[in-house]
Every structure is written in structure tokens, then in C-alpha cells.
Amino acid sequence: MRIAQSVTAIMLLSFLTVARAGDNPLLGTWKLKSFVREVLATAERLNQLGEHPNGYLSYSSDGRMYAIVSAENRVTPREFAPTDEERIILHRTFQAYAGTYTLEPGKVVHHVDISWNESFTGTDQVRFYSLSGNTLTIKTAPAKSAIDGREGITLLVWEKVEGGN
């Protein structure tokens, strides 16, 4: 009898997880297509990571997420261990963090528990999103840029990764 109850409980929990996963339009992995920063004071729009930045964003059904972005044409160190100068350039052209997330219609909050920049760790990063087919557009809340320190918003366009892409 206890085995049957345990199996029923496991099946019910599995069903609820799948049902919640089905309600989450962000589930899966997304590849970065563009990263445009808009400076609030001047309305200047910048491709701070180049015309073709690299990156991935992933949301899983267990409530975890990660985001990794890097500039195009990053410096390749001359040796396996970068020089201090190379390390500075690499640091300036890369951002990454991971944590949990909560989802509302049109809004996702990333609860950061590990980050490339320790000042992000322990923060909540508010993002506003819209979906059109396999394209996810994310707009950040106004914040200072980690690249130039100016207040602005960032618009990131992502494409859903299907299969082995």
C-alpha cells in the first residue's frame, strides 16, 4: 500500500512539474543575436560587444538559469595563461552569471547566486521580455553599464536553440 502511495505521489509531482514547465515560455536555451546598450542621458545606442556578440541564456524547469555573453573577436592570449594586460581585456569583454529565476507575464527576475562580477552576486536582476516565434527580446531595467559606467538599458535579442544547434 505504501509503495502505491509513494508511486502516486511521485507521478503527481512529476505531472505538476511538467504542467508548470509547459506554462513557461522561456524554457530552454537561447543564443544571443544582438546586444544593444541605450544610454539614458543621450539616447545614444551602442553595440558595446560588437555587431556579432556571442552568448547563451538558459532557463530550466527546475527554476535555475544562466547567462553568458562575450564580445565578438575577443583577444586570444599568446600563452595558455593570459598576461595581466590580456586578462584585463578578456574581463572587459565577458559577462556571466547564474542563479534561480521567477517568472511573471512579460517579466523575469534573475536571482543571482554566482557571477563574473561579484557585485552582481546576491542581487535580483529585473528583465522585461517579449516573444515572437523563436525570438526572445529582453530589456533590462535601467542600470549602470559594467562596461562604461553610464546609466542605460540593454536590449538583448536571443534565438531559441533547437536540437543540436
- Domain assignment of residue 12, yes or no: no
Kindly give, in sequence order, each residue whose CB lies less than 8 Å from that of residue 71, ignoring residues fewer than 6 positions away: 48, 49, 50, 53, 54, 93, 94
Q: What is the pLDDT of residues 46-100, one digit of tens each?
A: 998 999 999 999 999 999 999 999 999 999 999 999 999 999 999 989 999 999 9
pTM for the predicted model, two decimal places: 0.81
Contact 46, 37 (CB under 8 A): yes
- Domain assignment of residue 15, yes or no: no
CATH of residue 85's domain is 2.40.128.490
Q: What is the pLDDT of residues 27-42, one digit of tens each?
A: 999 999 999 999 999 9
Q: What mean pLDDT do residues 21-31 have? A: 88
Q: What is the pLDDT of residues 134-147, one digit of tens each?
A: 999 999 999 988 77
Residue numbers of the domain that contains 110: 26-160
* Mean pLDDT for all residues in the chain: 87
- Domain assignment of residue 17, yes or no: no
Domain count, the chain: 1
Coil, strand or helix: which one is 3? helix
Contact 112, 99 (CB under 8 A): yes
Contact 111, 102 (CB under 8 A): yes
CA nearest neighbour of 105 among 129, 139, 124, 140: 129
Q: What is the pLDDT of residues 112-126, one digit of tens each?
A: 999 999 999 999 999
- Domain assignment of residue 14, yes or no: no
- Domain assignment of residue 140, yes or no: yes
pLDDT of residue 15: 36
pLDDT of residue 145: 83
- Domain assignment of residue 5, yes or no: no
- Domain assignment of residue 8, yes or no: no
- Domain assignment of residue 6, yes or no: no
CA nearest neighbour of 127 among 155, 112, 145, 107: 107
